[in-house]
Amino acid sequence: MRLVTVEDIKAGDILAKDVLLEDYTILLGKGTELKDAYIEKLRDLNIVTVYIEETQEDDSRLSLEEITILREDVEEKVKNKVKDILELHVYQKTEGLKEIGDAAQKVISNILSDKAVVEKVYDVKERSADIYEHSLTICTIATLIALKLELTEKEIYDIGVSSLLHDLGLRYLVLHYEDQDINLLPAKDQEEYRKHPIYGYTAVKKESWISEEAKNLVLSHKEHIDGSGYPMGTEVVSRSAQIIGVCDEFDEMICGIGKARVRVHEAISTIRNYSGIWFEDDIVKAFLGLIAVYPAGSKVMTNQKELAVVMRQNPHFPERPVLRVISDRFGQPIKEEKIIDLVKDTTVVIQQVVK
C-alpha cells in the first residue's frame, strides 16, 4: 500500500483504502480500479491523496511518507480485538475484559521495538467517531508521551490498559454524541454524558486483573488541574491521568466524540492554549513534540501564496514539514517538481490549511 497525491495516480491503479468524502461517506471503495473519469472526479472534489496498491513501477513514482505509530497489521489486529472485547461487554458482564491487558502489552511492545520512537513526528488524521479506533489512538499516543517523560514500566502499562478502557462507559449511554458539542446538548444529556467515566470505573472496579491505579485512570481521565473537568471536578489529577486526558481531548476533537470535529491544526492549537491550565506544561510539550500539525497529504497555502501538499514530516519540527508545491501564486499548475523543506527554508511558512 502506498499513499500518493491524486496528481501522481494513473488509470489502472487499484485503491488500497476507501476514498471518503468530508462527511466520511464512501466515494470509491477499496479495490476499485481507477479510471480517467474517477481521477478527474477526485480532482474536482479537491481530494488530495489516496492509498493505492503497490506495483513494480512504484519505485519511480513520487509518494508521501506517512509516519504512523503502529505497524498497519498490528494496528488492525489490536483494533479489531478491542472492538470484539468491548462489544461483548454489556453492563456488569466483564468476561473477556482481561484480554485488554494483552492488547495493551502488544501495543507497548510494538512501540518499544523502534528505538527512535520518541524522536519522530507522527501523522494523526481526522476521521469518523469510532470509539474503538479512538481508544487505540489514545493508547498509542499516551504510551509515547509516557516513554518520553520516562515513566516507569508499571506506569506505562497502566496507562496502556486504562487508555483502551477509558471510554468503556460510553457504551452505557443512549444519547447521540457523535460529531456534536456536548455543551450544546440539553442539560440532562450533558449530565448523563459526563457520567461515562463513572460507568467505566464501576464496570472494572471489582476486577482483580487490573490495578487500582489503572481503574482510577478510567475514572479520572476527564479531570483538569484547574478543577474544570468531570466527574468530580477535582484539581488533584495524577500525571498519568493528565497524559491520557491530553490525548483524549485532542483525538475527540479530530474524530468528533462529544465535540464538533475540527482539523488537526485547530485541535493542536486548542491543546496548546490549555497548557498549564488543564494539563501540566511538560505533558503538553511532550504531546506537541510528537504530533504533526499538518499530517502528510494535507493541502496548504504558504505565505508565498503557493498551494502545496505536505509530503513528509521533519523530526523535532512538527510545524515545519516538507512540501511539494502544486500550483503557483497565480493558481497555475507547477510544471517542474518543486520541493520546499520548511526547516531549511525559513522564509516560507504555512498560512492555512486548504480543504
Crossing angle (nearest 10°) for helices 99-112 and 153-165:
120
pLDDT (average), residues 200-220: 95
**Which band of pLDDT confidence, cut at 50, 70 and 90, is reported for residue 57?**
low
**Which band of pLDDT confidence, cut at 50, 70 and 90, is reported for residue 64?**
confident
CATH superfamily of 72-288: Hypothetical protein af1432 (1.10.3210.10)
3-state secondary structure (DSSP) of residue 250: helix
Q: How much of the chain, in percent, has pLDDT values that exceed 90?
A: 71
Q: What are phi and psi of 100, to 5 degrees?
A: -60, -35
Query: pLDDT tens digits for 233-256?
Result: 999 999 999 999 999 999 999 999
Q: What does the mean pLDDT of the chain come to?
A: 91
Give the Cα separation of 246 and 242 in Å (integer).
6
Residue 55 has pLDDT above 80, yes or no: no
pLDDT (average), residues 31-44: 90
3-state secondary structure (DSSP) of residue 114: coil
Residue 187: alpha-carbon gap to chain centroid: 29
Q: Which pLDDT score, from 0 to 100, does residue 92 have?
A: 54
* Between residues 87 and 283, the one the model is more confident about: 283
Domain boundaries of the chain, sorted by first residue: 2-60, 72-288, 299-353
**Nearest Cα residue to 5 out of 303, 300, 351:** 300
**Which band of pLDDT confidence, cut at 50, 70 and 90, is reported for residue 59?**
low
Q: Which pLDDT score, from 0 to 100, does residue 91 have?
A: 52
Contacts of 215 (CB under 8 A, 6+ apart): 162, 201, 204, 205, 207
* Between residues 7 and 75, the one the model is more confident about: 75
Q: Which pLDDT score, from 0 to 100, does residue 49 have?
A: 84
Q: Which amino acid is at 172?
A: Y
pLDDT (average), residues 118-142: 94
Helix, strand counts (H, E) of the chain: 11, 9
Which CA distances in Å does 328 have to 72, 301, 320? 35, 10, 20
Which CA distances in Å does 349 have to 31, 39, 46? 37, 30, 22
Q: Which pLDDT score, from 0 to 100, does residue 93 have?
A: 62
pLDDT (average), residues 179-188: 93
* Identical fold, 2-60 and 72-288: no
The pTM of the full predicted model, rounded to 2 decimals, is 0.88
Q: Which pLDDT score, from 0 to 100, does residue 9 have?
A: 87
Q: Which of 52-66, 80-94, 175-189, 239-253 has the lowest mean pLDDT?
A: 52-66
Q: Is the separation of the CB atoms in 146 and 104 below 8 Å?
A: no
Give the Cα separation of 35 and 12 in Å (integer).
6
CATH superfamily of 2-60: Molybdopterin biosynthesis moea protein, domain 2 (3.90.105.10)
Q: What are the grid coordinates assigned to 139, written together?
A: 493508547
